[in-house]
């Protein structure tokens, strides 16, 4: 659906250039929600703005739906851009226009007759839950409501792709959640491809199918969110996911101290139905080891439940080894910690 090939973007001229993207390749499938995460300055905004050529790449190709946008003339590009909606961190609404006129704007620009505009805006207002607000001005709306107007405006010309440029970064956690739920609904209802950039892993965790981690203008890791989230490989990714928890001094101490017995700390990852199963206690009973839970999380990645436990097994070395082997045989992921 979206293919970025050998994308390089340099800002500036002569010997005063800054390279924001460097020979970047990316492929996004139709109907998926694809997240790009990175720290400030990593190149996220440049990347997303290159997809609709708001920013022209210095080198490389941008393909959307089988068409190379980087080769199109002005007229054809404008036509293609209508099928790529975009929402922004600070909403970018026209402050002097009502909610209705903001949403109608791209329809009028595309030459839609007034009666069709009326009908379409009515449908969009219902879709984003703003039926009672059509005559209000942006200043009379909350941040979440403004972003709902942004979403409605972006969907006005029935796009195939929705680009979200840090769309929830200016919102509080509850409002963020409601906007993410709206994006998920829209994705499912219309099979709309969504590309979002963010610096917050919980946004990726909540709605994305796949994720790419960008650093220094290149992609350092990408894959299914379950894969990247539970087994991050690159240190930048690990930093986004692990935060402070595992550097906790108390945890380190708890992993080591069991006087007079052999012990081993392990990290066990449960995914899907296994998250709520009793495999761990069953296996431990069979092998005769005891365990202490040192740290634990149970949450979901999109709709998939997962759990991650750090436990310390206590018992003979053989019993601990067979516990680890049996847990793996039962389909759990077990990492022996040093
Ligand atoms: N118009 C510009 N002129 C010069 N350099 C720029 C311009 N826009 C971005 N850059 C530089 O390109 C690099 C990538 O910037 P970009 O805004 O894409 O990163 P980002 O990951 O979106 O960061 P942030 O989250 O802070 O917006 C940075 O080093 C930035 O300083």
- For ligand 1, whether the C-beta of 102 sits within 6 Å is no
pLDDT of residue 260: 57
Strand-pairing partners, residue 300, are: 305
ipTM more than 0.85? Answer: yes
pLDDT tier at 9, thresholds 50, 70, 90:
very high
Per DSSP bridges, beta strands 263-271 and 67-68 are unpaired
Rounded to two decimals, the pTM is 0.88
Alpha helices in the chain (DSSP H): 44-51, 74-81, 99-109, 114-127, 143-155, 173-190, 201-207, 225-230, 235-242, 249-256, 279-287, 317-329
Helix, strand, or coil (residue 186): helix
Q: How far is CA 216 from CA 52, 243, 316, in A?
A: 21, 20, 47
Closest residue CA from atom 7 of ligand 1: 11
Helix, strand, or coil (residue 28): strand
CATH 2.60.40.10 at 2-241, yes or no: no
- Do the Cβ atoms of 43 and 219 come closer than 8 Å? no
pLDDT of residue 262: 86
Nearest-atom number in ligand 1 for the CA of 49 is: 18
- Do the Cβ atoms of 2 and 192 come closer than 8 Å? no
Q: Same fold for the domain at 2-241 and the one at 245-336? A: no
- For ligand 1, whether the C-beta of 20 sits within 6 Å is yes
Class of domain 245-336: alpha beta
Q: Render pLDDT for 290-315 as a digit per residue (tens, 0 to 9).
A: 999 998 989 999 989 999 999 999 99
- Burial of 96 per CB tally in 10 Å (0-12, 13-18, 19+): exposed
Half-sphere exposure of 121 (CA within 13 A, CB side): 23
Break the chain into its structural domains and give their ranges: 2-241, 245-336
Go through 169-179 and write b for each residue having 16 or more CB atoms within 10 A of its CB, e for each that does not.
ebbeeebbbeb
Closest residue CA from atom 4 of ligand 1: 11
Q: Render pLDDT for 40-77 as a digit per residue (tens, 0 to 9).
A: 999 999 999 999 999 999 999 999 999 999 999 988 99
Per DSSP bridges, beta strands 18-28 and 2-11 are antiparallel
Q: Is the pLDDT of residue 16 over 90?
A: no
Query: Rounded to 5 degrees, what are φ and ψ at 268?
Result: -115, 130
What number of other Cβ atoms are within 10 A of residue 42's Cβ? 24
Nearest-atom number in ligand 1 for the CA of 42 is: 21
Q: From ligand 1's centre to the CA of 218, what distance in Å?
A: 13
**Mutational test site, ligand 1, from 43, 166, 169, 217, max ligand atoms within 8 Å of CB:** 43
Strand-pairing partners, residue 88, are: 165
- For ligand 1, whether the C-beta of 44 sits within 6 Å is yes
Q: Is the pLDDT of residue 26 over 90?
A: yes
Average pLDDT rounded to a whole number, residues 178-199: 95
pLDDT of residue 252: 73
Average pLDDT rounded to a whole number, residues 75-100: 94
**Mutational test site, ligand 1, from 11, 17, 217, 240, max ligand atoms within 8 Å of CB:** 11
Closest residue CA from atom 16 of ligand 1: 43
Q: Render pLDDT for 120-171 as a digit per residue (tens, 0 to 9).
A: 999 999 999 999 999 999 999 999 999 999 999 999 999 999 999 999 998 9
- For ligand 1, whether the C-beta of 43 sits within 6 Å is yes
Q: From ligand 1's centre to the CA of 40, what distance in Å?
A: 8
Q: From ligand 1's centre to the CA of 158, what distance in Å?
A: 30
Helix, strand, or coil (residue 62): strand
Closest residue CA from atom 2 of ligand 1: 11
pLDDT of residue 236: 92
What number of other Cβ atoms are within 10 A of residue 35's Cβ? 27
Nearest-atom number in ligand 1 for the CA of 21 is: 14
pLDDT of residue 223: 96
- For ligand 1, whether the C-beta of 45 sits within 6 Å is yes
- For ligand 1, whether the C-beta of 116 sits within 6 Å is no
- Do the Cβ atoms of 306 and 269 come closer than 8 Å? yes
pLDDT tier at 206, thresholds 50, 70, 90:
very high
Q: Render pLDDT for 218-272 as a digit per residue (tens, 0 to 9).
A: 999 999 999 999 889 999 998 988 764 555 677 777 776 665 568 899 999 999 9
Structure tokens at 140: 């009379």
pLDDT of residue 338: 74
């Amino acid at each position: 659906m979206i293919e970025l090939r050998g994308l390089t973007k340099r800002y500036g001229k002569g010997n005063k250039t800054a390279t924001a993207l460097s020979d970047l390749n990316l492929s996004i499938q139709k109907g998926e929600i694809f997240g790009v995460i990175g720290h400030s300055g990593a190149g996220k905004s440049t990347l997303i703005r290159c997809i609709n050529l708001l920013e022209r790449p210095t080198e490389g190709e941008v393909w959307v739906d089988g068409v190379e946008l980087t080769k199109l003339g002005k007229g054809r590009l404008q036509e293609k851009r209508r099928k790529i909606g975009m929402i922004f961190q600070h909403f970018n609404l026209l402050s002097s226009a009502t909610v209705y006129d903001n949403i109608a704007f791209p329809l009028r620009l595309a030459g839609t007759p007034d009666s069709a505009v009326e009908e379409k805006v009515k449908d969009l207002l219902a879709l984003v839950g703003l039926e009672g607000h059509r005559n209000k001005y942006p200043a009379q709306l909350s941040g979440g409501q403004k972003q709902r107007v942004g979403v409605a405006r972006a969907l006005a010309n029935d796009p195939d792709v929705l680009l979200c440029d840090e769309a929830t970064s200016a919102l509080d956690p509850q409002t963020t959640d409601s906007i993410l739920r709206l994006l998920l609904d829209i994705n499912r209802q219309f099979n709309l491809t969504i590309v979002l950039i963010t610096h917050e892993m919980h946004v990726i965790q909540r709605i994305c199918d796949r994720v790419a981690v960008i650093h220094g203008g290149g992609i350092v890791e990408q894959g299914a969110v379950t894969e990247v989230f539970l087994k991050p490989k690159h240190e930048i990714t690990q930093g986004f996911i692990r935060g402070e928890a595992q550097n906790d001094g108390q945890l380190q101490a708890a992993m080591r101290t069991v006087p007079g017995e052999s012990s081993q700390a392990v990290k066990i990852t449960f995914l899907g139905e296994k998250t709520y199963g009793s495999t761990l206690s069953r296996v431990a009973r069979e092998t005769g080891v005891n365990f202490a839970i040192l740290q634990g999380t149970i949450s979901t990645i999109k709709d998939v439940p997962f759990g991650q436990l750090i436990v310390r097994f206590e018992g003979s070395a053989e019993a601990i080894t067979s516990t680890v082997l049996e847990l793996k045989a039962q389909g759990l992921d077990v990492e022996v910690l040093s």
